[in-house]
Chain A
C-alpha cells in the first residue's frame, strides 16, 4: 500500500473483527458480493478474523445475522479512535488555535532581546530602560516605536552616546556606545582661601594666588590664608586661588546611641508578584498584591521561558521584601561599636585628607543611652575656597 493509501486508511479508520460460528464462509461471500473492502482474512479455530474500514463495520451485523455468525471487535485503529480519548478536552483545541495565531503573528513578534557587545552588568540597566520605552520580548514589531524608543533610552541613560535597536529575524539587537565623560572644566572665577578649622599649619603649598601664612603659624577658623588679589602697578587684579594647606587640628565629636530602640527591619518574608506582558497587554498572574509603605520593593523583568525555551513574552516581577517595626536591644559592647562607627563617619565627612595622630573616646551610660565623645588630634586639609 502506498504512503497516501496508508494515510487515508489511518484517517478513515479500520476495524479488526472476528466472526465466529454459523456459516462464516457465506459471510465472506456476502461481503464480496456487496463490495465490502475486506482484507487480511485469517482463519481461526471457530471462524475467521478480518479487517474492514470502520464505516462498513456497522452494516456487517445484518449480514452476520443472516449467516448466523457472531461478530466482535478485536482492535480499532485510525485517527478517529486515537483522538476519541481526547474528546471534550477543549484546552487542547484552544492551545492549537493559540499556536496557529502565534504562528501567523510570529514574523512580527519580538521573541528576545540580544545585547551586542554590551557588558552583562550594563544589560540589566539597559533592559529596564528599554522596557520603560516599550521594547521587550512579546511586543509587535513597530519601526516607529523602535526609533522613538532609541531616543527615549538615550535621554534616560546619559551614559550612552549612541544606541541602535535593530529588528532581525524575530529579535531586537541592541547596540550601544558608551559616552565619553565630560572633561572637567576648571572654573577661573576669582577666589580666595580661608581656614576651615583652627589649628597650626604644618605644610602649605600654594599653586595659584598669594600665600599669607607659612608653616608653623597658627590660624583661626575663617582666617584668610591665600588671596587671589595681585597688584601690578596701580592695578589690582583678582585671580583664582588654589592651595593645599595641611594643619594640625584638635576636634571633638559626640554621639548618642540608645540601647533599646525601634527600627524598621526586613522580616525575611519575600513575596513575588508576576505580570505577563505580551503584545502591549498586561496580565497579572496574582489575585492581589500586598504591599506596605515600609516594604522594600524591587522590580525586574525576565523573558518568559519554558524548559529553557524563550517565548515571545515578558514577565514583570515585583519582589516585595516585607519590613516591620522591630524592637532592638543592644548590648553595651554593640552600642560602643555603633557609636565609634558614627564618630568616625562624622570625622571623615567633616575634614578632608585626615591623618589621625591621637584618638581618645569617652563613653558614658545613662538611662539606657550611651554617650560617646571622641577627642582627636589630626592633620587635615583646612583650605576652604570662597568666591570673591
Chain B
C-alpha cells in the first residue's frame, strides 16, 4: 500500500495575511452557549425554544440538553431568534440531560 505523505503547510507571509481574513468556522456561531454575569444577568445564545417559564424558573431547550435557570423576579429583557437576555435574582443553573 502506497503511503502518502501529508504536505506540511508553509508559514509564509501570504498565508499569515490570508488567515487574517479567513471566515471563522460556522460552529463558533451556532454552538449553544450561556454567558453569566455576577450582577444577575444571563445571556443565552442559540436557544432552540423556551420550554417552561414562570416567576421562579425558565427552562430552555439548548439542543442536546435542557437548561433550567432558577431564581426570582426573572425577566427576559430582550428576545430575538436564538438569543435571550435574562435578568433578575439568579439562584442556580441546572443542566438536564435528555435520555
Contacts and interface: CB of A to CB of B under 8 A. Distances in A.
B79 A25 contact: no
Interface stretch (B19-27, B32-40, B50-58): B50-58
A28 interface: yes
Interface residues of A, number: 18
A32 B53 contact: no
Interface in B7-61: 49-55
Contact of B79 (A39, A43, A45): A39
A366 interface: no
A70 B89 CA distance: 28
B85 to A, nearest CB: 9
B74 A29 contact: no
Given A32-B81, A33-B81, A35-B81, A41 B51 contact: no
A24 B53 contact: yes
The DSSP consensus for interface residues of chain B is strand
The DSSP consensus for interface residues of chain A is mixed
Contacts of B82: 32
Contact of A41 (B52, B76, B80): B76
Given A25-B50, A29-B49, A29-B50, A39 B78 contact: yes
Contacts of A32: 49-50, 79-82
Interface of B: 49-55, 74-82
Interface in A3-49: 24-25, 28-29, 31-33, 35, 37-45, 48
27 contacts: A24-B53, A25-B50, A25-B51, A25-B53, A28-B76, A29-B49, A29-B50, A31-B79, A32-B79, A33-B81, A35-B81, A37-B79, A37-B80, A39-B76, A39-B77, A39-B78, A40-B76, A41-B53, A41-B75, A41-B79, A43-B53, A43-B54, A43-B55, A43-B74, A44-B55, A45-B55, A48-B53
A241 B96 CA distance: 136
A177 B41 CA distance: 79
Contact of A35 (B76, B78, B80): B80
7 A-B pairs closest in CB distance: A41-B76, A43-B55, A29-B49, A42-B75, A39-B78, A25-B50, A25-B53
A25 B80 contact: no
A29 B60 CA distance: 11
A28 B59 CA distance: 13
A29 B79 CA distance: 10
Contacts of B49: 29, 32
Interface string A37-74: 11111111100100000000000000000000000000
A28 B79 contact: yes
A44 B56 CA distance: 10
Contacts of A43: 53-55, 74-75
A25 B77 contact: no
A25 B81 contact: no
A41 B55 CA distance: 11
Interface string A334-353: 00000000000000000000
